[in-house]
Amino acid sequence: MEIPYAPENKENSVPDDDYLQFGPPHEAMFFVLAYLPLLELLAMSQVCRSVRDALSNDILPWINITVYKPLSQRLSDDILMKFASKANGKLTTLALINCEKITDEGLQRVISKNPLINKLYFPACTSLTPEGIIRAVEALTKHNHQILHSIRLKINGIHNMKKDQLETLRSLIGLKQTQQQQEKRRNLYHKHNTFSTSTFGHEEDKCSIDVDICPKCNEVRMVFDCPMDRCERQRQNLRRECRGCCFCIPRCEECGQCIESDDWEEAACTDNLCSGCWLQLPKCNFCNRPYCNQHANQKCSVPGSSGFFSEASVLHVAGVWQTRIISGHLQFRCYY
Protein backbone atom coordinates (compact mmCIF):
# COMPACT_ATOMS: atom_id res chain seq x y z
CA MET A 1 0.00 0.00 0.00
CA GLU A 2 1.26 3.48 -0.84
CA ILE A 3 0.30 6.87 0.53
CA PRO A 4 -1.64 9.11 -1.89
CA TYR A 5 -0.49 12.67 -2.30
CA ALA A 6 -2.70 15.50 -3.57
CA PRO A 7 -1.24 18.87 -4.58
CA GLU A 8 -2.73 22.06 -3.21
CA ASN A 9 -6.05 22.97 -4.79
CA LYS A 10 -8.02 26.11 -4.89
CA GLU A 11 -10.14 27.00 -1.90
CA ASN A 12 -13.43 25.08 -1.57
CA SER A 13 -12.46 22.73 -4.43
CA VAL A 14 -12.55 18.94 -4.21
CA PRO A 15 -9.42 17.08 -5.46
CA ASP A 16 -10.03 14.89 -8.47
CA ASP A 17 -8.62 11.37 -8.75
CA ASP A 18 -6.39 12.59 -11.58
CA TYR A 19 -4.54 14.86 -9.13
CA LEU A 20 -3.72 12.06 -6.68
CA GLN A 21 -0.12 10.89 -6.80
CA PHE A 22 0.94 7.70 -5.06
CA GLY A 23 4.36 7.14 -3.55
CA PRO A 24 6.25 5.86 -0.52
CA PRO A 25 6.27 7.83 2.78
CA HIS A 26 8.80 10.59 3.21
CA GLU A 27 12.11 9.35 4.61
CA ALA A 28 11.81 11.69 7.60
CA MET A 29 8.86 9.66 8.85
CA PHE A 30 11.08 6.66 9.54
CA PHE A 31 13.45 8.71 11.71
CA VAL A 32 10.72 9.69 14.18
CA LEU A 33 9.54 6.13 14.80
CA ALA A 34 12.17 5.54 17.48
CA TYR A 35 10.79 8.46 19.53
CA LEU A 36 7.13 7.45 19.56
CA PRO A 37 5.37 5.86 22.55
CA LEU A 38 3.82 2.44 22.11
CA LEU A 39 0.33 3.68 21.26
CA GLU A 40 1.62 5.84 18.42
CA LEU A 41 3.81 2.99 17.14
CA LEU A 42 0.78 0.75 16.87
CA ALA A 43 -1.13 3.46 15.03
CA MET A 44 1.75 4.04 12.62
CA SER A 45 1.93 0.33 11.81
CA GLN A 46 -1.55 0.66 10.26
CA VAL A 47 -0.61 3.55 7.96
CA CYS A 48 0.93 1.60 5.09
CA ARG A 49 3.00 -1.46 4.28
CA SER A 50 6.29 0.45 4.19
CA VAL A 51 5.92 1.69 7.76
CA ARG A 52 4.66 -1.68 8.97
CA ASP A 53 7.68 -3.44 7.44
CA ALA A 54 10.01 -0.87 8.98
CA LEU A 55 8.56 -1.51 12.42
CA SER A 56 8.75 -5.27 11.94
CA ASN A 57 12.35 -5.37 10.71
CA ASP A 58 13.96 -2.65 12.83
CA ILE A 59 14.53 -2.99 16.58
CA LEU A 60 15.33 0.70 17.14
CA PRO A 61 11.68 1.80 17.65
CA TRP A 62 11.24 -0.93 20.27
CA ILE A 63 14.26 -0.45 22.54
CA ASN A 64 12.39 2.26 24.50
CA ILE A 65 8.85 1.17 25.39
CA THR A 66 6.63 3.86 26.91
CA VAL A 67 3.02 3.04 27.78
CA TYR A 68 0.42 5.40 29.25
CA LYS A 69 -3.31 6.00 29.02
CA PRO A 70 -5.45 4.83 27.34
CA LEU A 71 -3.29 1.85 26.36
CA SER A 72 -2.10 1.33 29.94
CA GLN A 73 -5.56 0.20 31.03
CA ARG A 74 -5.52 -2.70 28.55
CA LEU A 75 -1.89 -3.78 28.75
CA SER A 76 -1.44 -7.28 30.21
CA ASP A 77 1.61 -9.42 30.93
CA ASP A 78 1.29 -11.39 27.69
CA ILE A 79 0.82 -8.29 25.53
CA LEU A 80 3.79 -6.58 27.17
CA MET A 81 5.97 -9.62 26.51
CA LYS A 82 4.90 -9.61 22.88
CA PHE A 83 5.97 -6.00 22.41
CA ALA A 84 9.19 -6.40 24.40
CA SER A 85 10.23 -9.37 22.23
CA LYS A 86 10.41 -7.03 19.22
CA ALA A 87 13.58 -5.52 20.71
CA ASN A 88 15.38 -8.89 20.43
CA GLY A 89 16.77 -8.65 23.95
CA LYS A 90 18.08 -5.08 23.56
CA LEU A 91 15.33 -3.25 25.42
CA THR A 92 16.82 -0.37 27.46
CA THR A 93 13.80 1.59 28.75
CA LEU A 94 10.60 0.15 30.17
CA ALA A 95 8.20 2.94 31.19
CA LEU A 96 4.79 1.71 32.31
CA ILE A 97 2.54 4.50 33.58
CA ASN A 98 -0.65 3.45 35.41
CA CYS A 99 -0.46 -0.09 34.02
CA GLU A 100 -2.60 -1.77 36.67
CA LYS A 101 -2.62 -5.23 35.04
CA ILE A 102 1.14 -5.75 34.94
CA THR A 103 2.22 -8.18 37.66
CA ASP A 104 5.54 -9.21 39.19
CA GLU A 105 5.54 -12.38 37.09
CA GLY A 106 5.06 -10.48 33.83
CA LEU A 107 7.79 -8.01 34.75
CA GLN A 108 10.19 -10.82 35.59
CA ARG A 109 9.58 -12.44 32.19
CA VAL A 110 10.49 -9.23 30.40
CA ILE A 111 13.57 -8.66 32.57
CA SER A 112 14.87 -12.19 31.99
CA LYS A 113 14.83 -11.67 28.20
CA ASN A 114 16.21 -8.11 28.24
CA PRO A 115 19.31 -7.82 30.46
CA LEU A 116 20.27 -4.38 29.08
CA ILE A 117 17.39 -2.46 30.67
CA ASN A 118 18.68 0.51 32.68
CA LYS A 119 15.46 2.53 33.09
CA LEU A 120 12.52 1.05 34.95
CA TYR A 121 9.59 3.44 35.36
CA PHE A 122 6.48 2.07 37.10
CA PRO A 123 4.51 5.01 38.57
CA ALA A 124 1.09 3.89 39.85
CA CYS A 125 1.48 0.28 38.64
CA THR A 126 -0.56 -0.95 41.59
CA SER A 127 -0.26 -4.68 40.83
CA LEU A 128 3.52 -4.58 41.23
CA THR A 129 4.98 -5.15 44.69
CA PRO A 130 8.20 -3.94 46.30
CA GLU A 131 9.43 -7.53 46.35
CA GLY A 132 8.84 -7.82 42.60
CA ILE A 133 10.76 -4.60 41.94
CA ILE A 134 13.67 -5.86 44.04
CA ARG A 135 13.76 -9.18 42.17
CA ALA A 136 13.76 -7.35 38.85
CA VAL A 137 16.68 -5.11 39.84
CA GLU A 138 18.56 -8.10 41.26
CA ALA A 139 18.18 -9.94 37.95
CA LEU A 140 19.51 -6.94 36.02
CA THR A 141 22.54 -6.32 38.22
CA LYS A 142 23.49 -9.95 38.90
CA HIS A 143 25.15 -10.69 35.55
CA ASN A 144 25.62 -7.20 34.13
CA HIS A 145 27.75 -4.99 36.36
CA GLN A 146 28.24 -2.42 33.60
CA ILE A 147 24.75 -0.98 34.13
CA LEU A 148 25.08 -1.04 37.91
CA HIS A 149 25.42 2.74 38.32
CA SER A 150 23.23 3.70 35.36
CA ILE A 151 19.93 2.18 36.49
CA ARG A 152 17.11 4.70 36.99
CA LEU A 153 13.99 3.78 38.96
CA LYS A 154 10.65 5.56 39.17
CA ILE A 155 8.48 3.65 41.59
CA ASN A 156 6.19 6.28 43.06
CA GLY A 157 2.80 4.67 43.57
CA ILE A 158 4.10 1.18 44.38
CA HIS A 159 2.19 0.35 47.55
CA ASN A 160 3.69 -0.77 50.89
CA MET A 161 7.27 0.21 50.11
CA LYS A 162 9.25 0.05 53.37
CA LYS A 163 12.44 1.81 54.36
CA ASP A 164 14.49 -1.38 54.39
CA GLN A 165 13.25 -2.25 50.89
CA LEU A 166 14.25 1.19 49.63
CA GLU A 167 17.70 0.72 51.14
CA THR A 168 17.92 -2.68 49.43
CA LEU A 169 17.20 -1.07 46.06
CA ARG A 170 19.80 1.60 46.71
CA SER A 171 22.43 -0.97 47.54
CA LEU A 172 21.58 -3.07 44.48
CA ILE A 173 22.22 -0.19 42.09
CA GLY A 174 25.40 0.77 43.93
CA LEU A 175 24.03 3.98 45.42
CA LYS A 176 26.30 4.63 48.38
CA GLN A 177 25.61 7.06 51.20
CA THR A 178 27.88 9.74 49.73
CA GLN A 179 26.11 9.49 46.38
CA GLN A 180 22.75 9.75 48.09
CA GLN A 181 23.78 13.04 49.67
CA GLN A 182 24.98 14.38 46.31
CA GLU A 183 21.71 13.42 44.62
CA LYS A 184 19.59 15.21 47.21
CA ARG A 185 19.22 18.29 45.08
CA ARG A 186 16.05 20.35 45.04
CA ASN A 187 13.07 18.31 43.91
CA LEU A 188 10.29 20.75 43.01
CA TYR A 189 6.64 19.76 43.18
CA HIS A 190 5.37 21.84 40.26
CA LYS A 191 8.21 20.64 38.01
CA HIS A 192 7.25 17.05 38.78
CA ASN A 193 3.61 17.70 37.83
CA THR A 194 4.45 19.28 34.48
CA PHE A 195 6.77 16.45 33.43
CA SER A 196 5.78 14.98 30.08
CA THR A 197 5.33 11.23 29.91
CA SER A 198 6.38 11.25 26.27
CA THR A 199 9.96 12.06 27.29
CA PHE A 200 10.42 9.13 29.67
CA GLY A 201 12.86 7.30 27.44
CA HIS A 202 14.92 10.35 26.48
CA GLU A 203 15.10 12.50 29.60
CA GLU A 204 18.22 13.75 31.30
CA ASP A 205 17.18 12.81 34.80
CA LYS A 206 20.21 12.20 37.00
CA CYS A 207 18.27 10.99 40.04
CA SER A 208 18.60 7.23 40.53
CA ILE A 209 15.36 6.73 42.49
CA ASP A 210 12.40 9.09 42.53
CA VAL A 211 11.25 8.29 46.09
CA ASP A 212 12.90 9.05 49.40
CA ILE A 213 12.18 8.85 53.12
CA CYS A 214 10.05 11.79 54.21
CA PRO A 215 11.68 13.59 57.16
CA LYS A 216 8.23 14.43 58.54
CA CYS A 217 6.30 11.14 58.52
CA ASN A 218 9.25 8.77 57.95
CA GLU A 219 7.43 7.05 55.08
CA VAL A 220 8.77 6.17 51.61
CA ARG A 221 7.26 8.75 49.27
CA MET A 222 8.23 11.46 46.83
CA VAL A 223 9.85 14.24 48.86
CA PHE A 224 9.75 17.82 47.61
CA ASP A 225 11.57 21.04 48.43
CA CYS A 226 10.25 24.58 48.53
CA PRO A 227 11.49 26.79 45.65
CA MET A 228 11.15 30.06 47.57
CA ASP A 229 14.35 31.86 48.62
CA ARG A 230 13.06 32.49 52.12
CA CYS A 231 12.59 28.76 52.60
CA GLU A 232 16.12 28.22 51.28
CA ARG A 233 17.44 30.36 54.11
CA GLN A 234 15.30 28.44 56.58
CA ARG A 235 16.72 25.19 55.29
CA GLN A 236 20.23 26.37 56.11
CA ASN A 237 19.29 26.34 59.79
CA LEU A 238 16.48 23.79 59.84
CA ARG A 239 16.88 21.46 56.87
CA ARG A 240 13.61 19.67 57.60
CA GLU A 241 11.53 22.81 57.88
CA CYS A 242 10.25 22.96 54.28
CA ARG A 243 11.14 19.50 52.95
CA GLY A 244 8.59 16.71 52.98
CA CYS A 245 6.02 14.71 51.04
CA CYS A 246 2.79 16.25 49.75
CA PHE A 247 0.85 14.60 52.60
CA CYS A 248 2.89 16.37 55.27
CA ILE A 249 3.44 19.73 53.57
CA PRO A 250 0.71 21.08 51.25
CA ARG A 251 2.13 22.82 48.20
CA CYS A 252 0.88 25.16 45.53
CA GLU A 253 0.05 23.39 42.28
CA GLU A 254 1.43 26.31 40.26
CA CYS A 255 4.68 27.41 41.92
CA GLY A 256 5.37 24.48 44.27
CA GLN A 257 5.97 26.55 47.40
CA CYS A 258 4.80 25.30 50.77
CA ILE A 259 1.57 26.93 51.93
CA GLU A 260 0.17 27.35 55.41
CA SER A 261 -3.28 26.12 56.37
CA ASP A 262 -4.62 29.68 56.52
CA ASP A 263 -2.91 30.87 53.32
CA TRP A 264 -4.19 28.59 50.60
CA GLU A 265 -7.02 28.81 48.09
CA GLU A 266 -8.91 26.04 46.33
CA ALA A 267 -9.05 26.00 42.54
CA ALA A 268 -12.06 24.92 40.51
CA CYS A 269 -10.19 21.67 39.83
CA THR A 270 -9.86 21.16 43.65
CA ASP A 271 -6.08 21.71 43.60
CA ASN A 272 -4.41 23.87 46.23
CA LEU A 273 -3.02 27.27 45.26
CA CYS A 274 -1.11 29.91 47.16
CA SER A 275 -2.69 33.36 47.34
CA GLY A 276 -0.23 34.82 44.84
CA CYS A 277 -0.95 32.25 42.13
CA TRP A 278 -4.68 32.33 42.89
CA LEU A 279 -4.78 36.07 42.23
CA GLN A 280 -2.92 35.81 38.92
CA LEU A 281 -4.98 33.03 37.32
CA PRO A 282 -8.17 33.83 35.35
CA LYS A 283 -11.33 33.31 37.43
CA CYS A 284 -14.70 31.95 36.52
CA ASN A 285 -17.21 34.79 36.48
CA PHE A 286 -19.76 32.47 38.09
CA CYS A 287 -17.91 30.87 41.02
CA ASN A 288 -14.85 33.19 41.21
CA ARG A 289 -12.44 30.23 41.11
CA PRO A 290 -9.54 29.60 38.70
CA TYR A 291 -8.19 26.46 37.10
CA CYS A 292 -4.52 25.66 37.52
CA ASN A 293 -2.55 25.53 34.28
CA GLN A 294 -2.29 21.75 34.50
CA HIS A 295 -6.08 21.39 34.31
CA ALA A 296 -6.83 24.46 32.19
CA ASN A 297 -8.28 22.22 29.47
CA GLN A 298 -11.15 21.36 31.84
CA LYS A 299 -12.57 24.87 31.76
CA CYS A 300 -16.25 25.08 30.93
CA SER A 301 -18.87 27.80 31.08
CA VAL A 302 -22.11 27.25 32.96
CA PRO A 303 -25.41 28.99 32.15
CA GLY A 304 -25.35 32.52 33.49
CA SER A 305 -21.55 32.78 33.35
CA SER A 306 -19.63 35.09 31.03
CA GLY A 307 -16.54 32.89 31.05
CA PHE A 308 -13.14 33.41 32.68
CA PHE A 309 -11.52 36.76 33.37
CA SER A 310 -8.34 38.08 34.97
CA GLU A 311 -7.70 41.19 37.00
CA ALA A 312 -6.20 42.87 33.95
CA SER A 313 -9.47 42.46 32.05
CA VAL A 314 -11.59 44.17 34.70
CA LEU A 315 -12.42 47.57 33.20
CA HIS A 316 -14.50 50.56 34.19
CA VAL A 317 -17.99 49.27 33.46
CA ALA A 318 -20.95 51.12 35.04
CA GLY A 319 -18.65 52.49 37.69
CA VAL A 320 -15.17 52.06 39.09
CA TRP A 321 -14.29 48.55 40.22
CA GLN A 322 -11.98 48.27 43.14
CA THR A 323 -10.12 45.07 43.92
CA ARG A 324 -9.29 44.15 47.45
CA ILE A 325 -8.45 41.04 49.40
CA ILE A 326 -10.82 40.14 52.22
CA SER A 327 -10.13 37.01 54.28
CA GLY A 328 -7.75 35.76 51.60
CA HIS A 329 -10.34 35.99 48.78
CA LEU A 330 -10.40 38.29 45.78
CA GLN A 331 -13.58 40.38 45.79
CA PHE A 332 -14.94 43.11 43.56
CA ARG A 333 -16.95 46.11 44.71
CA CYS A 334 -18.60 48.69 42.50
CA TYR A 335 -18.72 52.37 43.43
CA TYR A 336 -20.98 54.76 41.52
What does the pLDDT read at residue 92?
92
The last residue of one of the domains, among 43, 62, 81, is 62
- In this structure, the answer to whether residues 48 and 170 fall within a common structural domain is no
- In this structure, the answer to whether residues 208 and 301 fall within a common structural domain is no
Residue 247 lies in a domain: no
Residue 244 lies in a domain: no
Q: Provide DSSP, 97-113.
A: SS-TT--HHHHHHHHHH
- In this structure, the answer to whether residues 28 and 87 fall within a common structural domain is no
What does the pLDDT read at residue 227?
76
Cβ partners under 8 Å of residue 283, min gap 6: 289, 290, 308, 309, 310, 330
Q: At what angle do helices 130-142 and 104-113 cross, to 10 degrees?
A: 10
Instruction: Kindly report the CATH number assigned to the domain that includes residue 120.
Output: 3.80.10
- In this structure, the answer to whether residues 70 and 207 fall within a common structural domain is yes
Structural domains in the chain (count): 3
What does the pLDDT read at residue 251?
83
| Residues of the chain under the 50 pLDDT cut | 1-3, 5-8, 10, 177-179, 181-183, 194-199, 201-204, 232-233, 239, 310-336
- In this structure, the answer to whether residues 80 and 201 fall within a common structural domain is yes
- In this structure, the answer to whether residues 127 and 10 fall within a common structural domain is no
What does the pLDDT read at residue 83?
92
Residue 225 lies in a domain: no
- The kind and range of the H/E element at 321 are strand 320-326
User: Can you name the residues that pair with 251 across neighbouring β-strands?
Assistant: 258
What does the pLDDT read at residue 249?
84
Residue 184 lies in a domain: yes
Identify the sign of the CA torsion 192, 194, 197, 199. negative
Nearest to 113 by CA among 57, 150, 62: 62
Query: What pLDDT, in 10s, does the model give residues 58-107?
Result: 888 899 999 988 888 899 999 999 999 999 999 999 999 999 999 999 99
What does the pLDDT read at residue 233?
42
Give the chain's mean pLDDT: 73
Could you say which DSSP state residue 7 is in? -
Residue 246 lies in a domain: no
Residue 228 lies in a domain: no
Residue 74 lies in a domain: yes
What does the pLDDT read at residue 229?
60
Residue 243 lies in a domain: no
What does the pLDDT read at residue 216?
87
The last residue of one of the domains, among 153, 179, 213, is 213
Query: What is the residue range of 7's domain?
Result: 1-62
What does the pLDDT read at residue 149?
67
| Cβ neighbours, 10 Å, residue 41 | 19
What does the pLDDT read at residue 82?
93
Q: Report the DSSP pairing between strands 329-335 and 320-326.
A: antiparallel
The last residue of one of the domains, among 46, 62, 78, is 62
What does the pLDDT read at residue 76?
94
